[in-house]
Chain A
């Protein structure tokens, strides 16, 4: 038996012993997702037991170094971990912007002290993070952001407003783009971390077309941020921001979410699939979806060993989000009038319709599809003037 096979057997046995049966059921709604943080309410004891077991072994972040709360797995081992998780349909023990976005940025740009402190908190699910990027006047043109940090010696005083801050009202800390030099557009932004409980921070949820409020407006009114909470160099936060955006786009793309080759046609059939043209659309969709899941696997394999084009997350984000929107259009069509129910027990609180509407944000958040195509044109295809 190769080392990798032995490792697979070890993981399989560990999962068998430690992943509770309830945590092998598909995620049905937001309440099934474990976000961690100071104020997180576990839905049931199994959710907490699963998190605790993974934290103890570093499996919330299997490929991070052990010193920062991970399990130190190499790319091949991390793939085995994902495959074994997928094999039994295990839920992720912890979902977190700290894992998906801040973590990679800190691993690249953070000081040793910052890594040990913040990454450890993320790995253990102790701190829930939110992302302070977009502003009312700075959406696709993010670099025009105006939130300003005034230098007060050992700290900055931050004033301004962010928007579309996911789960800001439930987050413990924020990683935030703040202008620290008004005279330099690109090299006048710094990447700051601060506590959402700081004096002067307030949030206001935004009601979306889905009827839910996952996003907030976030206001900063003379918020003090100590200087040691700067990540990377002063005024070079745009480099950190862009690097992190790559990981955010990877996250939104859904790569690696599922390699079990499930199709949505089978789901539609259970609802009574009688329309041959809808069936044809579902089949063409399933071809695209299964091909994309292979792409997700290939992308993760390549990025772990530096074989992926650095701008490839933009392609993944574009393709993955457009596909997800199509998936939900088809699920609505297959669901018929039952999928229209907004408030009813049978519809699990209108989850189909709400999820469908939620997906419309996929190709906007983290960079629109049009911006992704611009980036591909410029950085991958090297087209002129792009």
Chain B
């Protein structure tokens, strides 16, 4: 398969670009909801629009009422979300939770997917338990109790957790904290007794929750997939989140880069456009080169994931690490090349820097994923 978009995908990209530039732009969404101190950190009206365009159920199978698309298509939407810094539950709900529910019983699918597809529901995913992404170690316990399970433990960095109607929680039903086996995924309703959320605002104005689970009683039908055998499904959810975040990072980098090169062509100092200075030209050209490579890594990983390749894990980590590294460079160069105004809240370039930082951490930073590349390569 060639590493560029098919005609259908290119049409989707045009549609997503127009839609998010018009409706999801920084003034209408990110700044608006930040400045009114919105508790959800995103706009529900826009989420309804996502649904009307069929985007909420992109990754949901056609038999379950979705579009049955793949990670290439989801990545197209995420790149535009990144370019516009659009706050939305798309990555957590339509990419990660939808991937988890893809492995769920017909009953759970029937309970949750219609609301997701209609844009009425928002889901979150609770995996990490500390400030760094370490899904190899899961200490939250689920023990058999009555007809179901009791969950106890804590989760961190649960993005959109405070506004979610349901949270996908990874817990341990067997084994030690660092065992690969013994993981089970649960669909936990927001109002489950014993679950408390401490909602915090993040640097990029998104909201995330610290989750405490204190003997949360769930029926057996809350289990997503297999009891004890959830590692494989969890890995699919992680891959979906990682490649999704990588695609969004590329969008953030592109948005920042476009703003910056535009500025280089407008700003005058010493009687000339600053874009005429070779010192800045070479840095911009280097950044362009890195951005192109990051995009290529992302589409390669998306295609391998969609094709079920055994190289997908490796390439997803390559893409997440590379996109994170390059987007980090893009926003840092962006602020520096803008000079003083790059430090002001009024100017948008700083918002790119904030979103980049949050995305870099989400589902593992470049250090985590470079380490994973080394391990998957046998060293």
Q: Which residues of A contact B (CB under 8 A)?
A: 75-76, 79, 261, 263, 265-266, 268-269, 273, 279-280, 282-284, 286-288, 290-292, 294-295, 297-299, 301-302, 305, 307, 312, 315, 318-319, 370, 372-374, 376-377, 380-386
Contact = CB atoms under 8 A, between A and B. Distances in A.
A269 B288 contact: no
Contacts, number: 149
B318 A381 contact: no
Interface in B310-359: 311, 314-315, 317-319, 321-322, 325
Given A291-B296, A294-B301, A297-B300, 20 more contacts: A263-B379, A266-B377, A266-B379, A269-B379, A282-B374, A283-B373, A283-B374, A287-B370, A291-B319, A294-B296, A295-B292, A297-B296, A299-B296, A319-B290, A370-B282, A380-B285, A381-B261, A383-B261, A383-B276, A385-B273
A297 B318 CA distance: 15
10 contacts: A75-B2, A280-B370, A283-B373, A286-B374, A291-B322, A298-B299, A318-B286, A318-B289, A374-B285, A385-B272
Contacts of A292: 293
A262 to B, nearest CB: 8
Contacts of A376: 285, 288-289
Interface of B is mostly: helix
B146 to A, nearest CB: 47
A315 B294 CA distance: 13
Given A294-B297, A381-B284, A386-B276, A261 B379 contact: no
B89 interface: no
Nearest to A297: B3
B297 A291 contact: yes
A302 B4 contact: yes
Top 4 A-B pairs, shortest CB-CB distance? A385-B276, A294-B300, A291-B297, A376-B285
Contacts of B321: 284, 287
B225 to A, nearest CB: 29
Nearest to B274: A384
Given A282-B379, A385-B273, A287 B264 contact: no
Nearest to B371: A283
Interface of B: 2-4, 261, 264-265, 272-273, 275-276, 278, 281-282, 284-286, 288-290, 292-297, 299-301, 311, 314-315, 317-319, 321-322, 325, 366, 369-371, 373-374, 377-379
A139 B349 CA distance: 40
Contacts of B2: 75-76, 79, 301-302, 305
Contacts of B284: 377, 381, 383
B3 A373 contact: no
B379 to A, nearest CB: 4
A290 B297 contact: yes
Contacts of A299: 296
A384 B277 CA distance: 9
A294 B377 CA distance: 17
Contacts of B319: 291
B57 to A, nearest CB: 29
A282 B4 CA distance: 29
A290 B275 contact: no
Nearest to B372: A283
A295 B297 contact: yes
A295 B301 CA distance: 12
A383 B279 CA distance: 12
Contacts of B373: 263, 265, 283, 286-287, 290
Nearest to A304: B2
Nearest to A268: B379
A79 B2 CA distance: 9
Nearest to A380: B288
